[in-house]
Amino acid sequence: MAGVPFDQLDGHIWMNGEFVPWKDAKIHVLTHGLHYASAVFEGERAYGGEIFKLTEHTERLHESGRILGFEIPYSVKEIDNACIELLRMQGFSDAYVRPIAWRGSEMMGVSAQKNRINVAVAIWQWPSYFDPEQKMKGIRLDISEWRRPDPRTAPSKSKAAGLYMICTLSKHAAEAKGYADALMLDWRGRVAEATGANVFFVKDGVIHTPDPDCFLDGITRRTVIGLAKARGYEVVERVIMPEEMEGFEQCFLTGTAAEVTPVSEIGPYRFEVGEITRTLVNDYSAAVQPVHAAAAE
């Protein structure tokens, strides 16, 4: 797939209730979602032919749509079934799954009450989000100039397309400096998250993570908190100020794409890839495999 534009991949995409050839899954240039970011999406991974926590993701897709003021016209079960069947059709065992819902082109302007709500699912093969050779050494993060917004100014509890504009800007700026990603603070100057993943720190055997009051409480985040507690680790969700990073010993990111990724550096702060981080990398890898996931339910 390397070097092939995403609109030229092979296979099918599920779109508005039908499986259509990949090249035919198109929208018009005057689609409201393109102009006004009236779109919500999910990122999911399939391992061993099964999509991890599929229903949780689909339920969050529905909730994100509700927050943006629209109702997704397919039930959670219908979208789940579409994802499962599409994974089978694509012939992948390990893959990335991207459902998306957006307002169509019936009205063009800020007001769009009559626009159709479109839904699509695409699945493709996507390996490690970060360089596999660098990942277990710990990736390097810059500190972004952009900040996660006040929830009174943006629908921060939704996985809405528009919220990722500053993430792209932040990640591009970090990559231009040689970093893998960027840490974002919130509008108050508190530690928030990376551009597409939640962040955790370790000090004296205790795991600390920011309270997600203005950014997404990730499904992977909650999964890893559960794994940590099952190991007997104490997990504290709280306000974390940037200067506290100087005293933390370990750091890692969590997300569907990132999975559990150790961090060695955030701006001027340095971390080791310690035992707790390595344990949670391994525990998450085990948890996402179908045989382990089924046993845990």
So which residues are the catalytic ones? 159
Q: What are phi and psi of 5, to 5 degrees?
A: -60, 150
Question: What is the CB-side half-sphere exposure of residue 165 using CA atoms within 13 A?
Answer: 10
Report the alpha-carbon distance of residue 87 to residue 121 in Å, rounded. 10
Q: Do the beta carbons of residue 262 and residue 140 sit within 8 Å?
A: no
| Count of beta carbons in the 10 Å neighbourhood of residue 122 | 20
Instruction: Count the Cβ atoms, other than its own, within 10 Å of residue 162.
Output: 16
Q: Cβ neighbours of residue 125 under 8 Å, at least 6 residues apart?
A: 1, 92, 94, 95, 96
In 3D, which of 23, 17, 65 has the Cα closest to residue 41?
65
Question: Is the distance from CB of 263 to CB of 253 less than 8 angstroms?
Answer: yes
Long-range pairs for 268-276 at CB < 8 Å and ≥24 separation? 269/245, 271/138, 271/201, 272/138, 273/136, 273/137, 273/138, 274/202, 274/249, 274/250, 276/202, 276/205, 276/207, 276/228, 276/233, 276/250
Question: Measuring CA to CA, how many Å separate 202 from each of 48, 75, 168, 254?
Answer: 31, 40, 27, 14
DSSP-derived 3-state class of residue 140 = strand
**What value does the CA radius of gyration of the chain take, rounded to a whole number of Å?**
19
118: left (phi over 0), alpha (psi -120 to 50) or beta: beta
Q: Which residue reads 């219908």 in tokens?
A: 78
